[in-house]
């Protein structure tokens, strides 16, 4: 049997670093946030690391639990065919 390899999702609903930043700012552990959202601590870790995409419903719950606007946690989208500016944050 061939070992299975994991691949990251092509598209993420969330910006993993933003979720981690907001969680740490709120003083919550991954476990505490996962409990508030109703998901496993493992899934919360995978969402923060970018290995799994949060469902839109879970992203709303995460934003509510962290008392932050959902737009802070959402993945930033760029217009098709337009590269982000080199001066843009994160570029």
Q: Is 62 a domain residue?
A: yes
Q: Calculate the CA 22 to chain-centre distance.
A: 10
**CATH label of the domain that carries residue 66:** 1.10.260.40
**Contact yes or no for 51/8 (Cβ under 8 A):** yes
Domain assignment of residue 41, given as a range: 16-70
24-76 pLDDT tens trace: 999 999 999 999 999 999 999 999 999 999 999 999 999 999 999 999 999 87
What is the tens place of the pLDDT at every residue in 68-85?
999 999 987 655 554 554
**pTM of the predicted model as reported, rounded to 2 decimal places:** 0.75
Q: Is residue 84 part of a domain?
A: no
Residue 85 near residue 91 (C-beta atoms within 8 A)? yes
Q: Among the residues of 1-91, which ranges form H helices?
A: 16-26, 30-37, 41-49, 56-66, 70-73
């Amino acid at each position: 049997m061939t070992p299975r390899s994991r691949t990251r999702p092509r598209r993420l609903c969330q910006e993993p670093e933003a979720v981690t930043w907001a969680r740490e700012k709120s003083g919550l552990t991954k476990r505490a946030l996962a409990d508030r959202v109703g998901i496993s601590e493992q899934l919360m870790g995978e969402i923060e690391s970018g290995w799994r995409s949060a469902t839109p419903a879970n992203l709303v719950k995460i934003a509510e639990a962290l008392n932050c606007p959902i737009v802070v946690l959402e993945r930033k989208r760029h217009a098709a065919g337009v590269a982000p500016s080199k001066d843009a944050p994160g570029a």
